[in-house]
Amino acid sequence: MSVKSNRLSAEEYLQNFEDIHPPFDSYDAAAIEANRCLFCYDAPCMKSCPTSIDIPKFIRQITTENLKGSAHTILSSNIMGAGCSKVCPVEKLCEGACVYNFLGETPIHIARLQRFSTEKAMENQWKLFERKKSNGHKVAVVGAGPAGLSCAHSLSREGIDVTVFEKESSGGGLMTYGIAAYKVTPEFCEDEVNYITSIGGIDIQYNKALGRDFSVSDLSEKYDAVFIGIGVGMARHLEIPGEHLEGVVDAIKFIYDIRTQEFSATPVGDKVAVIGMGMTAIDAATQAKRLGAQEVTIIYRRTQDEMPCTEHELNIAKLDGCHIVWLAAPKEIKGENGIVTQLVCDKMALGVPDSSGRRSPKPTGETFTIHVDMVIKATGQMPYEALISQNSLGHKNGKVTIGNDLKTSMKGVFAGGDCVNGGKEVVDAVQAGKDGAEAILKYLANLS
């Protein structure tokens, strides 16, 4: 067993990482699907969308060949509607709420229809929004991820001059650096960022990191308001013996490496264990298999009924040949000469529900051991607690505390997205950015 890169041919990498959700190949194909929609009154699909896209409206616009209007309807509510159409867990959001589910029929393929309209807008560079004349107000946004970009676009539309500070060399945040490459490509993410900023009035300063190149106080002195949308950091520690061994990697770092270099350059083991069952765990497991790992085992301490990922995501892992071990938790990682060789796990049993409503897993006293050369940690992400504290922002366990108006403990400083909630979906971050922009506009109006 060994951890190494360049396991497959160039053709195999391309095949393994091609688009997992192929788009409609023609207007006729999209129109046939759109015409299945019942255009429900008080549509449950719309209620299930965190950004409240008027789904029946944009689908009806497709049926009347009004693709520009359809794209405008989507992007007015969710400026990252194109990206969200690829990465949203629609099975538990809009498509999961479709009335066809209750009729024993396949739900409307809302995500594919949304992708069809929004990609046409990006391909044709449709100018769907007019920016108001600059009113002299300046706002700083920290983070060019979904929350930051959504906030920046909403503010710019109202004539605010926005400067976005991004620690990476490209925008998009989680979309660009933290999601499986077969769902969305870096090239698409770049196109989406460029489309969002094409409205004007948004200047993104790349390779500028909070805490290294500037502080929140620095921005407060130069700008009328500040929005913090820095997301969250690396995976939580397992807090077990052997976690320091070579071959134990962070899922976020593993996915980041895949996203920022050639597939062949990312090392992967022969026998890989992934700890966790969220979307990030599934992305890490499936990509490890697609990079050439012979065996990938996903370890989860609860049962399928409690898993945080969707059944659709789980099926992707199963189809890729990943093995699932339920009711198991890592106890110890063993190694030889400083390199991982074994993962010892506790067998678990479910007890009473915990604070999240899920039944708490308890060790049974039995253990089992699997031979591995790589362990990927994907048990949730940690907030940037030190960075938040360093910048004198009020927080709880590293998550920025805000009021109903998204104000932080610092005057004129607002926050939203994963740095506040600890980590949700991309679409939730987009809505947080919209809410932040609305709060900032009210704040600036009171300054005038």
pLDDT at 171: 97
pLDDT at 253: 95
Q: What is the mean pLDDT of residues 140-148?
A: 98
Neighbours of 332 (CB within 10 A): 16
Q: Is the pLDDT of residue 163 over 70?
A: yes
Identify the band that residue 11 occupies on the pLDDT scale cut at 50, 70 and 90. Answer: very high
Nearest to 428 by CA among 67, 93, 64, 125: 93
Q: What is the mean pLDDT of residues 87-104?
A: 96
Q: Is the pLDDT of residue 355 over 90?
A: no
Neighbours of 334 (CB within 10 A): 15
Q: What is the dihedral of CA 250, 251, 256, 261, to 10 degrees?
A: 90
244 against 234, higher pLDDT: 244
Token pair in block for residue 278 = 């969220």
Token pair in block for residue 257 = 């490496």
Q: Going by DSSP bridges, is the β-strand pair 413-415/138-142 parallel, antiparallel, or unpaired?
A: unpaired
Q: What is the mean pLDDT of residues 129-142?
A: 97
Q: What is the mean pLDDT of residues 395-415?
A: 96
Contact 393, 400 (CB under 8 A): yes
Whose structure tokens read 């929005």?
A: 227
Q: Is the pLDDT of residue 193 over 90?
A: yes
pLDDT at 21: 84
Q: Is the pLDDT of residue 357 over 90?
A: no
pLDDT at 94: 98
Identify the band that residue 2 occupies on the pLDDT scale cut at 50, 70 and 90. Answer: confident
Q: What is the mean pLDDT of residues 130-138?
A: 96
Q: Is the pLDDT of residue 104 over 70?
A: yes
* Size (the chain), residues: 448
Q: Is the pLDDT of residue 354 over 80?
A: no
List C-alpha distances in Å: 117 to 55, 74, 183.
Answer: 12, 8, 18
Q: Is the pLDDT of residue 1 over 70?
A: no
Among 10-24, 63-77, 416-430, name the one with the lowest average pLDDT: 10-24
Cα–Cα distance, 249 to 403 (Å, whole number): 36
Token pair in block for residue 302 = 């609860």
Among 74-83, 106-115, 153-162, 347-356, name the one with the lowest average pLDDT: 347-356
Neighbours of 277 (CB within 10 A): 27
pLDDT at 22: 86
pLDDT at 72: 98
Nearest to 178 by CA among 262, 116, 234: 234
Identify the band that residue 448 occupies on the pLDDT scale cut at 50, 70 and 90. Answer: low
Model confidence, pTM: 0.95
Share of the chain above pLDDT 70, in %: 100
Q: Is the pLDDT of residue 129 over 80?
A: yes
Among 53-57, 132-136, 151-155, 356-360, name the one with the lowest average pLDDT: 356-360
SS (H, E, C) the chain: CCCECCCCCHHHHHHHCCCCCCCCCCHHHHHHHHCCCCCCCCCHHHHCCCCCCCHHHHHHHHHCCCHHHHHHHHHHHCCCHHHHHHHCCHHHCHHHHCHHHHHCCCCCCHHHHHHHHHHHHHHHCCCCCCCCCCCCCEEEEECCCHHHHHHHHHHHHCCCEEEEEECCCCCCCHHHHCCCCCCCCHHHHHHHHHHHHCCCCEEEEECCCECCCECHHHHHHHCCEEEECCCCCCECCCCCCCCCCECEEEHHHHHHHHHHCCHHHCCECCEEEEECCCHHHHHHHHHHHHCCCCEEEEECCCCHHHCCCCHHHHHHHHHCCCEEECCEEEEEEEEECCEEEEEEEEEEEEEEECCCCCEEEEEEEEEEEEECCEEEECCCECCCHHHHHHCCCCEECCEECCCCCCECCCCCEEECCHHHHCCCCHHHHHHHHHHHHHHHHHHHHHHC
Cα–Cα distance, 340 to 1 (Å, whole number): 10
Among 21-25, 275-279, 397-401, 430-434, name the one with the lowest average pLDDT: 21-25
pLDDT tens digits for range 415-439: 999 999 999 999 999 999 999 999 9
Q: Is the pLDDT of residue 26 over 80?
A: yes
* pLDDT, the chain, mean: 96
Contact 372, 364 (CB under 8 A): no
CA 310 to chain centre: 14
Whose structure tokens read 């991820």?
A: 145
Burial of 136 (0-12, 13-18, 19+ CB in 10 A): exposed
